[in-house]
Structure 1
Amino acid sequence: MKRLITTLGERNSEEMGFILSHEHVFVDLRTWDTPGYAEADVDHVVRQVAPALVKAKGSGITAIVECSTVGVGRRADIVKAVSEAASFPILVPTGVYREPWIPRWVHDAEEQELKEWMEGELNGDIEGSGVRAGWIKLSAGDEGLTECEKKVLRAAAKAGVATNAVIGSHTIKGSVVKEQLDIIEKAGYEANRFIWIHAQAETDFEIHLEVARRGAWISYDGIGVGNEELYINLIRRMLDAGYGKRILLSQDRVGYMCGQPEGNYPQPYTYICDQFLPKLHLAGIDKNTINEIMTVNPFNAFAR
């Protein structure tokens, strides 16, 4: 049986409702060599972020996918503490972000070492936190993949083959996504186990369709930040083209931004449910379709 791997254990489809596929509980966008990188008082983070997750639960959200990976301040121990305080399941990734956030040890590592490291976190736990990685998060340079980013992607594909974990990548340009799909398929993995994160940034909609035809997931995940009509139009066009089962929706909100005064403030995770989905329904998308996009799709994407 397929299950989500979360901070609170495994979850099956009957236990899940709406799932937000791209959010941040704890993130540090400074580079890994910055003094104080990824350091914070755990209790303070819990006090700040746990109430936001409780509110999300009240809006019908049953889990979120944490997208802060190695390179942008991943702290599985902090995410676990927040999750437990809110009694709210969170999926935490293995994997590495892009240049210049890639740490030196990743540059120095062989591809096989990186594959074994990711596989170890997907089958065991992350840095002794007791949290098992639920998926693989990567990124790519806007103008194309560096040699190190290609190495990480090949390692991720091989770890994916071994564990069936989905690979999601912060990738702005569709041409780079197509290169990524070529690489993972050559490494023996499948395009239907790849998520194109931030697909809304690519203005050529034909590339959205091309990538969906190859089987990949199309993630529109900046909802509440930009033009809502853009997202409604993208969703409608994907549905009209017959790719409703490949859409993921989320907000890219931040609970605690390390390096900001007091972590700045938590951005509410409730916008999509409380404000956007009603507008999507008013635009002519029926509630059954919305439910499938928000419940069935993310479960199928991230479950193993």
Structure 2
Amino acid sequence: MRRLYTTLGALGADQLGMILPHEHVFVDLRTPDQPGYAEASVEEVLALMVPQIEAIKALGVTALVECSTGGVGRRADMDLAVSKATNFPIVVPTGNYREPWIPAWVAAASEDALHDWMLAELQDGIEQTGFKAGWIKLSAGDDGMTRLEERILRAATRAAIATDALIGSHTIRGRVVMDQLDIIEAEGGSAARFVSIHTQAEPDFGLHKALVERGAWIEYDNVGAVPVEESAGLVLKALDAGLGDKLLISHDRGWFDPALPKGGEPKPYTVVSTELLPMLAAAGVGEETIVGLTHRNPFAAFSRP
């Protein structure tokens, strides 16, 4: 039986409803060598982020996926604090972002060491939090992978094979995603356990279809950052093309930013629920399809045995 591994334990599909598959609770987009990187007080994080979680709970959202990984300020302890304060499950990744957001220890580590680290976080737990990583988050350069990014991907693939964890990658170009899938498959992994994050940024819709044909998940995760009509139009295009069973929808919003006073101004996680889904329904998308997009697909993608 598959479970979603969260800050509040492993949860089955029958315990969950709508899941937001790409959001951030805490993120620091400065490079890891900057003073004050990823530093904040729990009190300030709770003050900013608890109201954001309570707002989506009231709309029926039952979990979200934290996409802040190594290199961009992952703070699993802060995720846990927000989760406990709201009794709301959060799925936290292992893995690391692209260059130049790669800490010195990751850059120096062997492929075996990186594999062992990710596998331990997936199987045993993240740091001292007491909960397991739910998935693996990576990234690749816009124009192609560096050798270091390839090493991280190979290590991640081995950890994913051992656990059936999903690998998700912030990769803007569809052709680079195809290169990543080549490496995953060469290592014995499966495109079916990969999500192309920010697929909407690839202007060639033919590549969206090609990724799904290859078995990968695609993700439209800029809802609220662009006019909602634009997001709805792209989702409708994907549904018309038969891509709905492999499509994830989210905001890529949040979040507490320690580089800003008191964490900055939050960007609510509510636009999918309050604007996009009603617009899809008005365009004739049925309830069963909407439940598939918002309940079944995220669980199928991010759950593992």
The TM-score normalised by the length of structure 1 is 0.98
- How far did 1:181 drift? 0.5
Which amino acid is 1:247 matched to? Answer: L
- Structure-1 separation of matches of 2:17 and 2:7: 17
Which amino acid is 1:108 matched to? Answer: A
C-alpha contact (below 8 Å) 1:76/1:131 kept by paired residues: no
Q: How does 1:60-209 map to 2 (within 5 A)?
A: 60-209=60-209
Could you say what secondary structure the match of 1:28 adopts? coil
Which amino acid is 2:88 matched to? Answer: F
Could you say what secondary structure the match of 1:115 adopts? helix
C-alpha contact (below 8 Å) 2:184/2:191 kept by paired residues: yes
Name the stretch that deviates more: 290-299 or 228-237.
Answer: 228-237
- Structure-2 separation of matches of 1:131 and 1:48: 23
Structure 2 portions without partners, runs of 5+: none
Could you say what secondary structure the match of 2:159 adopts? helix
- How far did 1:131 drift? 2.5
- Structure-2 separation of matches of 1:44 and 1:231: 32
- Structure-1 separation of matches of 2:134 and 2:206: 31
Which amino acid is 1:279 matched to? Answer: M
Could you say what secondary structure the match of 2:100 adopts? coil
- How far did 1:201 drift? 0.3
- How far did 1:246 drift? 0.1
- Structure-2 separation of matches of 1:237 and 1:271: 20
- How far did 1:125 drift? 1.2
- Structure-2 separation of matches of 1:205 and 1:230: 14
- How far did 1:242 drift? 1.8
- How far did 1:265 drift? 2.1
The TM-score normalised by the length of structure 2 is 0.98
Partner of 1:243: 243
Partner of 2:14: 14
CA RMSD of aligned residues (A): 0.9
Partner of 2:28: 28
C-alpha contact (below 8 Å) 2:174/2:207 kept by paired residues: yes
- Structure-1 separation of matches of 2:171 and 2:134: 20
C-alpha contact (below 8 Å) 2:228/2:275 kept by paired residues: no
Task: Say if 2:228 is the partner of 1:228.
Answer: yes
- How far did 1:287 drift? 1.7
Structure 1 portions without partners, runs of 5+: none
After superposition, what is the alpha-carbon deviation per residue over 1:55-77, rounded to whole angstroms, capped at 9, x for unaligned? 11001100000000000000000
- How far did 1:167 drift? 0.3
Could you say what secondary structure the match of 2:88 adopts? coil
- Structure-2 separation of matches of 1:281 and 1:180: 35
User: What's the % identity of the aligned pairs?
Assistant: 53
Partner of 1:291: 291
Name the stretch that deviates more: 158-167 or 224-233.
Answer: 224-233
After superposition, what is the alpha-carbon deviation per residue over 1:148-189, rounded to whole angstroms, capped at 9, x for unaligned? 000000000000000110000001000100000000010111
Which amino acid is 1:280 matched to? Answer: L
Partner of 2:274: 274
C-alpha contact (below 8 Å) 1:23/1:65 kept by paired residues: yes
- Structure-2 separation of matches of 1:238 and 1:252: 19
Partner of 1:51: 51
Could you say what secondary structure the match of 2:266 adopts? coil
C-alpha contact (below 8 Å) 1:70/1:95 kept by paired residues: yes
- How far did 1:288 drift? 1.4
C-alpha contact (below 8 Å) 2:198/2:220 kept by paired residues: yes
C-alpha contact (below 8 Å) 2:232/2:276 kept by paired residues: no
- How far did 1:236 drift? 1.8
- How far did 1:273 drift? 0.2
Partner of 1:2: 2
- Structure-2 separation of matches of 1:212 and 1:231: 19
Partner of 1:257: 257
C-alpha contact (below 8 Å) 1:66/1:92 kept by paired residues: yes
